[in-house]
Protein backbone atom coordinates (compact mmCIF):
# COMPACT_ATOMS: atom_id res chain seq x y z
CA UNK A 1 0.00 0.00 0.00
CA UNK A 2 1.98 3.32 -1.10
CA UNK A 3 0.95 6.25 1.02
CA UNK A 4 0.34 9.38 -1.01
CA UNK A 5 1.90 12.42 0.57
CA UNK A 6 4.59 14.91 -0.21
CA UNK A 7 7.08 12.67 1.55
CA UNK A 8 5.70 9.27 0.52
CA UNK A 9 7.06 6.81 -0.25
CA UNK A 10 9.53 7.76 2.48
CA UNK A 11 12.49 5.35 2.31
CA UNK A 12 14.08 6.88 5.38
CA UNK A 13 11.04 5.75 7.39
CA UNK A 14 11.31 2.20 6.00
CA UNK A 15 15.01 1.60 6.69
CA UNK A 16 14.88 -1.04 9.41
CA UNK A 17 15.70 -4.13 7.38
CA UNK A 18 18.87 -2.77 5.78
CA UNK A 19 21.66 -4.47 7.70
CA UNK A 20 24.76 -6.44 6.82
CA UNK A 21 23.27 -9.63 8.18
CA UNK A 22 20.26 -9.61 5.88
CA UNK A 23 19.95 -11.17 2.47
CA UNK A 24 21.28 -8.91 -0.31
CA UNK A 25 18.56 -6.53 -1.57
CA UNK A 26 17.28 -7.50 -4.98
CA UNK A 27 14.98 -5.03 -6.81
CA UNK A 28 13.84 -7.87 -9.07
CA UNK A 29 11.95 -9.30 -6.11
CA UNK A 30 9.15 -6.83 -6.82
CA UNK A 31 8.45 -8.66 -10.06
CA UNK A 32 8.44 -12.07 -8.42
CA UNK A 33 5.37 -14.13 -9.26
CA UNK A 34 6.00 -17.56 -7.74
CA UNK A 35 3.31 -20.21 -8.07
CA UNK A 36 3.50 -23.74 -6.80
CA UNK A 37 4.61 -26.07 -9.53
CA UNK A 38 1.31 -27.92 -9.62
CA UNK A 39 -0.63 -24.66 -9.73
CA UNK A 40 1.42 -23.46 -12.69
CA UNK A 41 0.43 -26.55 -14.64
CA UNK A 42 -3.30 -26.07 -14.12
CA UNK A 43 -5.19 -24.64 -17.10
CA UNK A 44 -6.44 -21.09 -16.69
CA UNK A 45 -10.19 -20.74 -16.39
CA UNK A 46 -12.20 -18.27 -18.45
CA UNK A 47 -12.09 -14.82 -16.89
CA UNK A 48 -15.33 -13.97 -15.13
CA UNK A 49 -15.79 -10.26 -14.29
CA UNK A 50 -17.24 -9.51 -10.88
CA UNK A 51 -18.06 -6.33 -8.97
CA UNK A 52 -15.43 -4.86 -6.69
CA UNK A 53 -16.30 -4.08 -3.04
CA UNK A 54 -16.81 -0.36 -3.58
CA UNK A 55 -19.44 0.52 -0.97
CA UNK A 56 -19.12 3.65 1.18
CA UNK A 57 -18.07 1.58 4.22
CA UNK A 58 -15.16 -0.11 2.41
CA UNK A 59 -11.85 1.11 3.91
CA UNK A 60 -9.79 3.29 1.58
CA UNK A 61 -6.38 4.91 1.67
CA UNK A 62 -8.10 8.09 2.84
CA UNK A 63 -10.02 6.50 5.70
CA UNK A 64 -7.02 4.45 6.80
CA UNK A 65 -4.97 7.64 6.68
CA UNK A 66 -6.67 8.84 9.87
CA UNK A 67 -5.32 5.79 11.70
CA UNK A 68 -1.91 6.43 10.17
CA UNK A 69 -1.90 10.00 11.46
CA UNK A 70 -2.82 8.78 14.94
CA UNK A 71 0.09 6.35 14.83
CA UNK A 72 2.56 9.03 13.74
CA UNK A 73 1.25 11.54 16.29
CA UNK A 74 1.78 9.03 19.11
CA UNK A 75 5.28 8.24 17.86
CA UNK A 76 6.45 11.84 17.46
CA UNK A 77 4.26 14.36 19.30
CA UNK A 78 3.36 11.89 22.05
CA UNK A 79 7.00 11.04 22.72
CA UNK A 80 7.94 14.72 22.77
CA UNK A 81 5.17 15.63 25.20
CA UNK A 82 6.08 12.76 27.52
CA UNK A 83 9.74 13.79 27.58
CA UNK A 84 11.49 15.73 30.29
CA UNK A 85 13.76 17.93 28.16
CA UNK A 86 11.22 20.51 27.06
CA UNK A 87 12.35 24.14 27.14
CA UNK A 88 10.09 27.23 26.98
CA UNK A 89 12.56 28.84 24.55
CA UNK A 90 11.60 26.42 21.78
CA UNK A 91 8.66 24.40 23.11
CA UNK A 92 5.98 26.01 20.93
CA UNK A 93 8.21 25.91 17.85
CA UNK A 94 9.00 22.23 18.47
CA UNK A 95 5.33 21.27 18.67
CA UNK A 96 4.61 23.28 15.52
CA UNK A 97 7.46 21.54 13.69
CA UNK A 98 6.39 18.03 14.75
CA UNK A 99 2.77 18.73 13.81
CA UNK A 100 3.88 19.84 10.34
CA UNK A 101 6.19 16.85 10.07
CA UNK A 102 3.37 14.40 10.82
CA UNK A 103 1.03 16.10 8.34
CA UNK A 104 3.77 15.97 5.73
CA UNK A 105 4.49 12.24 6.03
CA UNK A 106 0.85 11.15 6.20
CA UNK A 107 -2.24 11.52 4.06
CA UNK A 108 -3.39 14.62 5.90
CA UNK A 109 -6.40 16.37 4.36
CA UNK A 110 -4.21 19.47 3.95
CA UNK A 111 -0.67 18.08 3.60
CA UNK A 112 2.23 20.34 4.47
CA UNK A 113 4.95 20.71 1.80
CA UNK A 114 8.39 19.51 2.81
CA UNK A 115 9.77 23.02 2.31
CA UNK A 116 7.52 24.28 5.11
CA UNK A 117 8.72 21.49 7.41
CA UNK A 118 12.32 22.35 6.60
CA UNK A 119 11.68 26.02 7.41
CA UNK A 120 10.35 25.00 10.84
CA UNK A 121 13.42 22.82 11.35
CA UNK A 122 15.72 25.74 10.58
CA UNK A 123 13.86 27.88 13.13
CA UNK A 124 14.50 25.22 15.79
CA UNK A 125 18.14 25.02 14.78
CA UNK A 126 18.49 28.75 15.40
CA UNK A 127 16.84 28.29 18.81
CA UNK A 128 19.42 25.55 19.61
CA UNK A 129 16.76 22.93 20.27
CA UNK A 130 18.41 19.66 21.32
CA UNK A 131 15.40 17.45 22.10
CA UNK A 132 16.11 13.96 20.63
CA UNK A 133 12.63 13.56 19.13
CA UNK A 134 12.96 16.88 17.30
CA UNK A 135 16.52 16.14 16.18
CA UNK A 136 15.45 12.75 14.79
CA UNK A 137 12.57 14.27 12.82
CA UNK A 138 14.92 16.95 11.49
CA UNK A 139 17.38 14.25 10.38
CA UNK A 140 14.59 12.38 8.60
CA UNK A 141 13.62 15.50 6.67
CA UNK A 142 17.22 16.11 5.62
CA UNK A 143 17.59 12.48 4.54
CA UNK A 144 14.52 12.86 2.37
CA UNK A 145 16.02 16.03 0.89
CA UNK A 146 19.12 13.93 0.07
CA UNK A 147 21.21 15.98 2.48
CA UNK A 148 22.91 12.99 4.10
CA UNK A 149 25.96 14.95 5.21
CA UNK A 150 23.72 17.28 7.20
CA UNK A 151 21.53 14.49 8.53
CA UNK A 152 24.36 12.27 9.82
CA UNK A 153 25.45 14.55 12.73
CA UNK A 154 21.83 14.81 13.89
CA UNK A 155 21.41 11.02 13.86
CA UNK A 156 24.67 10.70 15.81
CA UNK A 157 23.35 13.07 18.50
CA UNK A 158 20.15 11.02 18.82
CA UNK A 159 21.74 7.55 19.04
CA UNK A 160 22.47 7.80 22.83
CA UNK A 161 18.78 8.59 23.40
CA UNK A 162 17.86 5.16 22.03
CA UNK A 163 19.53 3.31 24.90
CA UNK A 164 18.25 5.97 27.32
CA UNK A 165 14.70 5.20 26.11
CA UNK A 166 13.94 8.85 25.36
CA UNK A 167 12.23 7.97 22.05
CA UNK A 168 9.03 6.13 21.21
CA UNK A 169 9.89 2.55 20.28
CA UNK A 170 8.06 3.00 16.97
CA UNK A 171 10.77 5.41 15.77
CA UNK A 172 13.79 4.66 17.98
CA UNK A 173 15.49 2.36 15.47
CA UNK A 174 15.56 5.14 12.86
CA UNK A 175 18.45 6.82 14.68
CA UNK A 176 21.13 4.10 14.48
CA UNK A 177 20.02 2.86 11.07
CA UNK A 178 19.69 6.41 9.77
CA UNK A 179 23.26 7.09 10.83
CA UNK A 180 24.45 3.96 9.01
CA UNK A 181 22.66 4.95 5.84
CA UNK A 182 23.69 8.60 5.85
CA UNK A 183 27.44 7.99 6.14
CA UNK A 184 29.67 6.09 3.70
CA UNK A 185 30.76 2.63 4.86
CA UNK A 186 34.40 3.71 4.73
CA UNK A 187 33.79 6.24 7.51
CA UNK A 188 32.88 3.52 10.01
CA UNK A 189 35.03 1.09 11.89
CA UNK A 190 33.44 -2.35 11.27
CA UNK A 191 32.75 -2.87 14.98
CA UNK A 192 31.08 0.53 15.29
CA UNK A 193 28.88 -0.04 12.24
CA UNK A 194 27.80 -3.47 13.44
CA UNK A 195 26.99 -2.07 16.87
CA UNK A 196 24.65 0.46 15.28
CA UNK A 197 23.01 -2.22 13.16
CA UNK A 198 22.51 -4.44 16.20
CA UNK A 199 21.09 -1.49 18.14
CA UNK A 200 18.62 -0.78 15.32
CA UNK A 201 17.59 -4.42 15.10
CA UNK A 202 17.01 -4.65 18.86
CA UNK A 203 14.99 -1.42 18.87
CA UNK A 204 12.90 -2.72 15.99
CA UNK A 205 12.15 -5.97 17.82
CA UNK A 206 11.20 -4.01 20.93
CA UNK A 207 8.71 -1.91 18.95
CA UNK A 208 7.04 -5.10 17.69
CA UNK A 209 6.87 -6.66 21.17
CA UNK A 210 4.03 -5.30 23.30
CA UNK A 211 1.21 -6.78 25.38
CA UNK A 212 -1.30 -5.11 23.04
CA UNK A 213 -1.38 -2.84 20.01
CA UNK A 214 -3.64 0.02 19.01
CA UNK A 215 -5.87 -0.55 15.95
CA UNK A 216 -3.67 -0.94 12.86
CA UNK A 217 -0.50 -0.23 14.87
CA UNK A 218 1.10 -3.51 13.76
CA UNK A 219 0.26 -2.66 10.16
CA UNK A 220 2.01 0.70 10.35
CA UNK A 221 4.98 -0.82 12.17
CA UNK A 222 5.29 -3.32 9.35
CA UNK A 223 5.24 -0.52 6.81
CA UNK A 224 8.12 1.06 8.70
CA UNK A 225 9.99 -2.24 8.84
CA UNK A 226 9.70 -3.31 5.22
CA UNK A 227 12.19 -2.23 2.60
CA UNK A 228 11.10 0.73 0.50
CA UNK A 229 11.79 -1.39 -2.62
CA UNK A 230 10.05 -4.53 -1.28
CA UNK A 231 13.39 -6.11 -0.51
CA UNK A 232 13.99 -9.28 1.48
CA UNK A 233 13.20 -9.34 5.17
CA UNK A 234 16.06 -9.46 7.64
CA UNK A 235 16.87 -12.73 9.33
CA UNK A 236 18.49 -10.69 12.10
CA UNK A 237 15.16 -8.97 12.81
CA UNK A 238 13.32 -12.30 12.78
CA UNK A 239 15.88 -13.80 15.17
CA UNK A 240 15.48 -10.84 17.51
CA UNK A 241 11.69 -11.17 17.41
CA UNK A 242 11.89 -14.89 18.17
CA UNK A 243 13.71 -14.06 21.42
CA UNK A 244 10.82 -11.93 22.66
CA UNK A 245 7.77 -13.72 24.11
CA UNK A 246 5.50 -10.74 23.40
CA UNK A 247 6.58 -10.27 19.78
CA UNK A 248 3.68 -9.70 17.42
CA UNK A 249 2.79 -13.03 15.73
CA UNK A 250 1.47 -11.08 12.75
CA UNK A 251 4.73 -9.19 12.17
CA UNK A 252 6.75 -12.38 12.67
CA UNK A 253 4.61 -14.14 10.06
CA UNK A 254 5.07 -11.29 7.59
CA UNK A 255 8.86 -11.29 8.06
CA UNK A 256 8.96 -15.08 7.68
CA UNK A 257 6.95 -14.86 4.47
CA UNK A 258 9.26 -12.19 3.03
CA UNK A 259 12.31 -14.38 3.66
CA UNK A 260 10.62 -17.37 2.00
CA UNK A 261 9.64 -15.25 -1.02
CA UNK A 262 13.22 -14.13 -1.40
CA UNK A 263 14.43 -17.73 -1.24
CA UNK A 264 11.88 -18.67 -3.91
CA UNK A 265 13.20 -15.89 -6.11
CA UNK A 266 16.78 -17.08 -5.70
CA UNK A 267 15.72 -20.63 -6.54
CA UNK A 268 13.89 -19.45 -9.64
CA UNK A 269 16.90 -17.43 -10.78
CA UNK A 270 19.18 -20.44 -10.27
CA UNK A 271 16.65 -22.74 -11.99
CA UNK A 272 16.02 -24.76 -8.86
CA UNK A 273 12.56 -25.91 -7.69
CA UNK A 274 10.64 -23.11 -5.99
CA UNK A 275 7.70 -25.12 -4.63
CA UNK A 276 8.93 -25.57 -1.05
CA UNK A 277 9.82 -21.89 -0.62
CA UNK A 278 6.52 -20.82 -2.18
CA UNK A 279 4.68 -23.14 0.20
CA UNK A 280 6.48 -21.63 3.19
CA UNK A 281 5.68 -18.12 1.96
CA UNK A 282 2.03 -19.04 1.42
CA UNK A 283 1.72 -20.60 4.87
CA UNK A 284 3.38 -17.64 6.60
CA UNK A 285 1.30 -15.01 4.83
CA UNK A 286 -1.80 -17.16 5.27
CA UNK A 287 -1.19 -17.25 9.02
CA UNK A 288 -0.79 -13.48 9.02
CA UNK A 289 -4.04 -13.01 7.10
CA UNK A 290 -5.94 -15.23 9.54
CA UNK A 291 -4.61 -13.18 12.44
CA UNK A 292 -5.58 -9.84 10.87
CA UNK A 293 -7.76 -10.07 7.75
CA UNK A 294 -8.47 -6.35 8.19
CA UNK A 295 -4.85 -5.61 7.23
CA UNK A 296 -4.29 -5.77 3.44
CA UNK A 297 -0.58 -6.69 3.55
CA UNK A 298 -0.75 -10.50 3.75
CA UNK A 299 -3.49 -10.78 1.14
CA UNK A 300 -1.46 -8.55 -1.20
CA UNK A 301 1.53 -10.88 -0.87
CA UNK A 302 -0.64 -13.94 -1.49
CA UNK A 303 -1.69 -12.59 -4.88
CA UNK A 304 1.72 -13.80 -6.09
CA UNK A 305 1.72 -17.16 -4.28
CA UNK A 306 -1.81 -18.58 -3.98
CA UNK A 307 -2.13 -22.12 -2.70
CA UNK A 308 -3.91 -25.20 -3.98
CA UNK A 309 -7.52 -24.40 -4.79
CA UNK A 310 -6.86 -20.68 -4.50
CA UNK A 311 -6.47 -17.99 -7.14
CA UNK A 312 -4.81 -14.63 -7.43
CA UNK A 313 -8.30 -13.12 -7.64
CA UNK A 314 -9.29 -14.62 -4.29
CA UNK A 315 -6.44 -12.82 -2.56
CA UNK A 316 -6.90 -9.66 -4.58
CA UNK A 317 -10.54 -9.48 -3.46
CA UNK A 318 -9.48 -9.96 0.15
CA UNK A 319 -6.81 -7.29 -0.15
CA UNK A 320 -9.13 -4.63 -1.59
CA UNK A 321 -11.84 -5.53 0.92
CA UNK A 322 -9.35 -4.34 3.55
CA UNK A 323 -8.00 -1.38 1.54
CA UNK A 324 -10.13 -0.62 -1.50
CA UNK A 325 -7.58 1.45 -3.42
CA UNK A 326 -4.38 -0.33 -2.32
CA UNK A 327 -2.09 0.38 -5.34
CA UNK A 328 0.11 -2.67 -4.83
CA UNK A 329 -2.85 -5.06 -4.94
CA UNK A 330 -4.05 -3.69 -8.29
CA UNK A 331 -0.55 -3.70 -9.77
CA UNK A 332 0.19 -7.30 -8.78
CA UNK A 333 -3.19 -8.62 -9.87
CA UNK A 334 -3.15 -6.76 -13.19
CA UNK A 335 0.33 -8.15 -13.84
CA UNK A 336 -1.02 -11.69 -13.40
CA UNK A 337 -3.47 -11.19 -16.29
CA UNK A 338 -2.91 -11.13 -20.03
CA UNK A 339 -3.14 -7.66 -21.65
CA UNK A 340 -6.61 -8.39 -23.09
CA UNK A 341 -7.97 -9.77 -19.81
CA UNK A 342 -6.48 -6.87 -17.87
CA UNK A 343 -8.64 -4.51 -19.96
CA UNK A 344 -11.73 -6.46 -18.87
CA UNK A 345 -10.54 -6.10 -15.30
CA UNK A 346 -10.01 -2.39 -15.93
CA UNK A 347 -13.66 -2.09 -16.92
CA UNK A 348 -14.61 -3.57 -13.55
CA UNK A 349 -12.55 -0.84 -11.89
CA UNK A 350 -14.14 1.87 -14.03
CA UNK A 351 -17.59 0.54 -13.18
CA UNK A 352 -17.04 1.29 -9.48
CA UNK A 353 -17.37 5.01 -10.20
CA UNK A 354 -15.07 5.68 -7.25
CA UNK A 355 -13.37 8.72 -8.76
CA UNK A 356 -12.41 9.79 -5.25
CA UNK A 357 -9.76 7.05 -5.56
CA UNK A 358 -7.35 5.83 -8.21
CA UNK A 359 -9.32 2.64 -8.84
CA UNK A 360 -11.14 3.68 -12.08
CA UNK A 361 -7.74 4.70 -13.49
CA UNK A 362 -6.84 1.01 -13.60
CA UNK A 363 -8.79 0.90 -16.88
CA UNK A 364 -6.38 3.41 -18.42
CA UNK A 365 -3.37 1.48 -17.12
CA UNK A 366 -4.69 -1.76 -18.60
CA UNK A 367 -5.57 -0.17 -21.94
CA UNK A 368 -2.15 1.46 -22.16
CA UNK A 369 -0.49 -1.88 -21.49
CA UNK A 370 -2.54 -3.51 -24.24
CA UNK A 371 -1.54 -0.82 -26.72
CA UNK A 372 2.13 -1.17 -25.81
CA UNK A 373 1.93 -4.94 -26.22
CA UNK A 374 0.45 -4.47 -29.72
CA UNK A 375 -2.27 -6.96 -28.86
CA UNK A 376 -5.10 -4.45 -29.03
CA UNK A 377 -8.50 -6.04 -29.35
CA UNK A 378 -10.41 -3.17 -27.72
CA UNK A 379 -12.99 -1.61 -30.02
CA UNK A 380 -11.72 1.93 -30.63
CA UNK A 381 -15.18 3.53 -30.46
CA UNK A 382 -16.08 1.72 -27.23
CA UNK A 383 -12.67 2.53 -25.77
CA UNK A 384 -13.06 6.23 -26.51
CA UNK A 385 -16.44 6.26 -24.78
CA UNK A 386 -14.97 4.59 -21.71
CA UNK A 387 -12.05 7.03 -21.66
CA UNK A 388 -14.49 9.93 -22.00
CA UNK A 389 -16.33 8.64 -18.96
CA UNK A 390 -13.00 8.28 -17.15
CA UNK A 391 -12.00 11.86 -17.97
CA UNK A 392 -15.38 13.22 -16.91
CA UNK A 393 -15.18 11.37 -13.60
CA UNK A 394 -11.74 12.70 -12.74
CA UNK A 395 -12.24 16.24 -14.04
CA UNK A 396 -13.26 17.52 -10.62
CA UNK A 397 -11.22 15.27 -8.30
CA UNK A 398 -8.00 14.79 -10.30
CA UNK A 399 -7.76 17.09 -13.32
CA UNK A 400 -4.34 15.73 -14.28
CA UNK A 401 -5.75 12.24 -14.80
CA UNK A 402 -8.61 13.67 -16.86
CA UNK A 403 -6.10 15.17 -19.26
CA UNK A 404 -4.12 11.94 -19.49
CA UNK A 405 -7.31 10.04 -20.33
CA UNK A 406 -7.79 12.36 -23.31
CA UNK A 407 -4.22 11.68 -24.46
CA UNK A 408 -4.83 7.95 -24.22
CA UNK A 409 -7.98 8.29 -26.34
CA UNK A 410 -5.85 9.93 -29.05
CA UNK A 411 -3.40 7.01 -28.88
CA UNK A 412 -6.25 4.54 -29.20
CA UNK A 413 -7.58 6.34 -32.28
CA UNK A 414 -4.14 6.47 -33.88
CA UNK A 415 -3.61 2.76 -33.20
CA UNK A 416 -6.95 1.90 -34.81
CA UNK A 417 -6.08 4.03 -37.87
CA UNK A 418 -2.77 2.20 -38.37
CA UNK A 419 -4.59 -1.09 -38.30
pLDDT tens-digit series, residues 322-377: 999 999 999 999 999 998 899 999 999 999 999 999 999 999 999 998 888 776 56
Cα–Cα distance measured from residue 252 to residue 237, given in angstroms and rounded to the nearest whole number: 9
- Give the model's confidence band at 13: pLDDT under 50 very low, under 70 low, under 90 confident, else very high: very low
| Residue-wise DSSP of 214-235 | -TTHHHHHHHHHS-TT--PPPH
Least confident span in 42-51, 248-257, 266-275? 42-51
Whether the ω angle into residue 302 lies within 30 degrees of 0, i.e. cis, is no
Residue 36 confidence class, pLDDT cut points 50, 70, 90: very low
Confirm if 185 and 93 have CB atoms less than 8 A apart: no
C-alpha closest to that of 334 among 309, 298, 359, 308: 359
Longest dimension (CA), the chain: 73
Q: Decide which of 157 and 26 is more confident.
A: 157
Q: How far apart are CA 202 and CA 222, in angstroms?
A: 15
Query: How far apart are the C-alpha atoms of 293 and 286, rounded to whole Å?
Result: 10
Contacts of 75 (CB under 8 A, 6+ apart): 168, 170, 171
Q: Which pLDDT tens digit goes with each residue over 128-163?
A: 999 999 999 999 999 988 999 999 999 999 999 998
How high is the pLDDT of residue 271?
86
Question: Who has greater pLDDT, 39 or 98?
Answer: 98
Instruction: State the chain's mean pLDDT as an integer.
Output: 84
Q: 299 by DSSP, 3-state: which?
A: helix
Task: Give mean pLDDT, residues 38-47.
Answer: 44
What is residue 376's predicted lDDT score, i.e. its pLDDT? 56
Which pLDDT value is given to residue 25? Answer: 36
CB-based burial of residue 115 (10 Å sphere; 0-12 exposed, 13-18 middle, 19+ buried)?
A: exposed
Enter the pTM of the model.
0.82
Instruction: Decide which of 169 and 379 is more confident.
Output: 169
Which residues neighbour 229 within 8 Å (Cβ) at sequence distance 6 or greater?
Answer: 25, 27, 30
pLDDT number for residue 136: 96
Q: For residue 38, what pLDDT is reported?
A: 35
Measure the CA–CA gap between 203 and 348, rounded to whole angstroms: 44
The pLDDT value recorded for residue 151 is: 95
Q: Is residue 28 within 8 Å of residue 265, measured between CB atoms?
A: yes
Confidence band (pLDDT; 50, 70, 90) for 31?
very low
Q: What is the pLDDT of residues 365-410, one digit of tens each?
A: 999 988 887 765 667 888 889 999 999 999 999 999 999 998 998 8
CB contact at 8 A, 342 and 376: no
Question: What distance in Å separates the CA atoms of residue 183 and residue 65, rounded to the nearest whole number?
Answer: 32
Amino acid sequence: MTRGSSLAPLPLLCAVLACTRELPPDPALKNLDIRRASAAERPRSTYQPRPLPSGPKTPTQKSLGALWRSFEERAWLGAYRRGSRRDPRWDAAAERFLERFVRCVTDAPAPVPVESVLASALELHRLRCDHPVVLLAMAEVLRFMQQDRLAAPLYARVVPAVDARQLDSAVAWLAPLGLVRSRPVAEFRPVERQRLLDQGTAACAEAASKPSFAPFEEHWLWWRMREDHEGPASRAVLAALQQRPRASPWIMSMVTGEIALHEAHLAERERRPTGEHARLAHDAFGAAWRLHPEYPDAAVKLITCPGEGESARLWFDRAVAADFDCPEAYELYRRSLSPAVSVAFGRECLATGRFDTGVPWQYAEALSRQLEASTGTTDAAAGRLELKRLAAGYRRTRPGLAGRAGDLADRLTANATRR
